[in-house]
């Protein structure tokens, strides 16, 4: 169903108040910082300007780095329990602005208000759970009295977090938390498509952390390189495309910066013949169309046993056709627009490629008229593994379904991808699923569901899907470096 009818007056009022609540200035040294140039941020549901964001120039980068360099040594000495309590205080302040931030997130990102509210709740959960985890489980120092040896984990100094446009609040909150909990000062740079909520988080951070510990810089893509190439920054925590991840690896090679890269994926779901069709269809669509398919760990290829392929397609179509597409501010909306024109055009080209490669649309063949970057979700079969939609990361609501004869064959085909972010097995036989799960070349594997991540467990990708891990104790450790001190015995 396609519904773009007028949005609720209370949502309109809340949106106006959300925009007026924040200053949308850079945050540097705990203060707002003005720059000469700005750029417009568009609402992808209307293509109208929501607000403009500062385009940080070289002096702004230098000021943010200098403030972070000044702040880092003292912050590193702050006991971990106090750092954790500062992060909890930041979470409390974000919680106070939860509703305004949710509305702002809908306006700049396009997702439905209910999903924006969930993202805010999830972000608070990440802030608090990462604070608990750092306090209770990260060992900052161990001493062996007998050998006179002390092993400590030292912060890296100044670390930068660069984020994508699909989950801007959650990505900014988790990168901020991991950096500062481990004793680093941080500079966060959001995507130019969704800078407003991150600028608002920067404003909130001014009262929560000592000056210079958290800075937020918005700007166009070239700002990213000014940050990654900066010699005083020791680590980049990056979430975005594999192409940009590789560019960052190159630009940081000469200074040997530490890197954690969370990159693209082309997750396969393998559906065995004993899977329950209705539940599986629902679970696959929940993952594949979450955030209108703009989720790194969404199901992006469905491999199903030939014997049940048509039944599964029918069930997936039925779930898909029940979803309402529209402006995220509209209470009944399930799927918002594609977030930006660049991604919209890429998806339109992928739809064209399906027709050229003789794929079959089981639903979603129609094009939707604007304004706004709306696209009907499509279930597609008849493509081979080398087709564009199957071999590339679509990052949108186009779901290819492919048949297989044996699970081993499905696994080989699932793994024949340069990506290795996630995968899933759908079956009533959990033992068989566990056996297959360990054969996936992927950082996360789910059984009878797909996409769930949580702050207690490391998240990372194989192959072009990433380097290192974020979250969990292992993710936190990547924001520190070992030092061994030995006393002569």
- List the catalytic residues: 262, 296
Out of 11, 115, 134, 166, point to the residue binding ligand NAD (CB under 6 A): 166
| β-bridge pairing 258-262 and 466-467 | antiparallel
| 328 contributes a contact to ligand NAD by CB under 6 A | no
Contacts of 196 (CB under 8 A, 6+ apart): 22, 24, 41, 50, 51, 53, 104, 107, 108
Is the Cβ–Cβ distance between 186 and 173 less than 8 Å?
no
Query: Which CB atom, from 189 or from 235, has the smaller least distance to ligand NAD?
Result: 189
C-alpha span between 380 and 58 (Å, rounded): 47
Q: Which residues have CB under 8 Å from 12's CB, separation 6+?
A: 329
Residues 374-393 that bind ligand NAD (CB under 6 A): 393
Residue 372 or 461: the one with the smaller Cβ distance to ligand NAD is 461
- CB distance 65 to 56 below 8 Å: no
Query: In this structure, what token pair is assigned to residue 304?
Result: 């199903």
CA–CA separation, 315 and 58 (whole Å): 54
- Residue 157 CB, shortest distance to ligand NAD, in Å, is 19
Residue 108 or residue 305: which is nearer to ligand NAD going by CB?
108
Neighbour tally for 9: CB within 10 Å: 8
156 vs 295, beta carbon nearer ligand NAD? 295
Which one of 106, 156, 162, 308 is in contact with ligand NAD (CB under 6 A)?
162
- SS3 (DSSP) at 394: coil
Which of residues 105, 164, 169, 315 is near ligand NAD by CB under 6 A?
164
Give min distance, CB of 451 to ligand NAD, in A.
Answer: 11
Total residues contacting ligand NAD (rule CB under 6 A)? 28
| Minimum gap (Å) between residue 459 Cβ and ligand NAD | 6
Beta carbon nearer to ligand NAD, 6 or 222:
222
Subset of residues 220 to 279 that bind ligand NAD, contact rule: CB under 6 A: 221, 224-225, 228, 239-241, 244, 247-248, 262-265
Q: How far is the CB of 8 from ligand NAD (least distance, A)?
A: 30
Site for ligand NAD in 399-418 (CB under 6 A): none
- Long-range CB contacts (within 8 A, 24+) of 426-429: 426/269, 426/270, 426/271, 426/272, 426/275, 426/280, 426/283, 426/284, 427/271, 427/272, 427/274, 427/275, 428/274, 428/275, 428/276, 429/272, 429/274
Choose the binding region for ligand NAD from 23-31, 118-126, 152-160, 188-196 (rule: CB under 6 A): 188-196
Closest residue by beta carbon to ligand NAD: 224
CB of 247 to ligand NAD, least distance (A): 4
Residue 224 vs 397, nearer CB to ligand NAD: 224
The span of 187-195, 368-376, 383-391, 478-486 binding ligand NAD (CB under 6 A) equals 187-195
Please, what's the b/e burial string for 56-90 (b: 16 or more CB within 10 A of its CB; e: otherwise)?
A: bbeebbebbbebbeebbeebbeeebeebbebbbeb
The contact set with ligand NAD (CB under 6 A) reads 162-166, 189, 191-192, 221, 224-225, 228, 239-241, 244, 247-248, 262-265, 296, 393, 395, 421, 461, 466
């Amino acid at each position: 169903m396609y519904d773009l009818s007028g949005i609720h007056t209370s949502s309109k009022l809340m949106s106006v108040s959300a925009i007026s609540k924040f200053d949308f200035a850079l945050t540097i040294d705990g203060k707002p910082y003005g720059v000469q140039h700005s750029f417009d941020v568009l609402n992808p549901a209307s293509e109208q300007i929501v607000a403009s964001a500062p385009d940080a120039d070289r002096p702004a980068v230098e000021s943010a780095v200098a403030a972070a360099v000044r702040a880092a040594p003292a912050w590193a000495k702050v006991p971990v329990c106090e750092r954790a309590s500062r992060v909890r205080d930041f979470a409390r302040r974000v919680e106070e602005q939860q509703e305004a931030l949710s509305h702002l997130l809908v306006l700049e990102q396009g997702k439905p208000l209910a999903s924006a509210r969930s993202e805010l709740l999830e972000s608070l959960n990440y802030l608090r759970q990462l604070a608990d985890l750092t306090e209770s489980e990260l060992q900052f120092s161990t001493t062996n009295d007998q050998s006179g040896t002390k092993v400590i984990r030292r912060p890296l100094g100044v670390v930068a977090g660069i984020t994508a446009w699909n989950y801007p609040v959650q990505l900014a909150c988790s990168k901020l938390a991991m950096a500062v909990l481990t004793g680093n000062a941080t500079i966060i740079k959001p995507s130019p498509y969704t800078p407003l909520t991150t600028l608002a988080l920067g404003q909130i951070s001014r009262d929560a952390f000592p000056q210079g510990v958290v800075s937020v810089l918005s700007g166009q893509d070239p700002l990213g390189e000014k940050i990654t190439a900066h010699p005083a920054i020791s680590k980049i925590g990056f979430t975005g495309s594999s192409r940009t991840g590789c560019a960052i690896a190159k630009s940081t090679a000469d200074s040997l910066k530490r890197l954690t890269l969370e990159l693209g994926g082309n997750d396969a779901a393998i559906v065995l013949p004993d899977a329950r069709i209705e539940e599986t269809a629902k679970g696959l669509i929940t993952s594949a169309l979450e955030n209108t398919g703009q989720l790194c760990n969404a199901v992006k290829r469905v491999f199903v046993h030939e014997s049940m392929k048509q039944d599964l397609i029918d069930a997936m179509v039925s779930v898909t056709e029940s979803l309402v597409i529209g402006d995220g501010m509209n209470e009944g909306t399930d799927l918002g627009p594609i977030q930006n024109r660049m991604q919209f055009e890429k998806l339109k080209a992928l739809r064209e490629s399906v027709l050229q490669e003789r794929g079959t649309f089981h639903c979603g063949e129609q094009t939707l008229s604007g304004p706004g970057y709306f696209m009907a979700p499509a279930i597609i079969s008849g493509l081979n593994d080398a087709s564009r939609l199957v071999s590339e990361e679509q990052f949108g609501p186009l779901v290819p379904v492919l048949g297989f004869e044996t699970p081993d064959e499905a696994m080989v085909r699932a793994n024949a991808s340069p990506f290795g972010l996630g995968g899933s097995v759908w079956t009533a036989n959990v033992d068989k699923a566990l056996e297959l799960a360990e054969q996936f070349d992927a950082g996360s594997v789910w059984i009878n569901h797909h996409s769930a991540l949580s702050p207690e467990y490391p998240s990372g990708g194989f192959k072009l899907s990433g380097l290192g891990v974020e979250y969990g104790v292992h993710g936190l450790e990547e924001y520190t470096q070992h030092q061994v001190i030995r006393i002569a015995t």
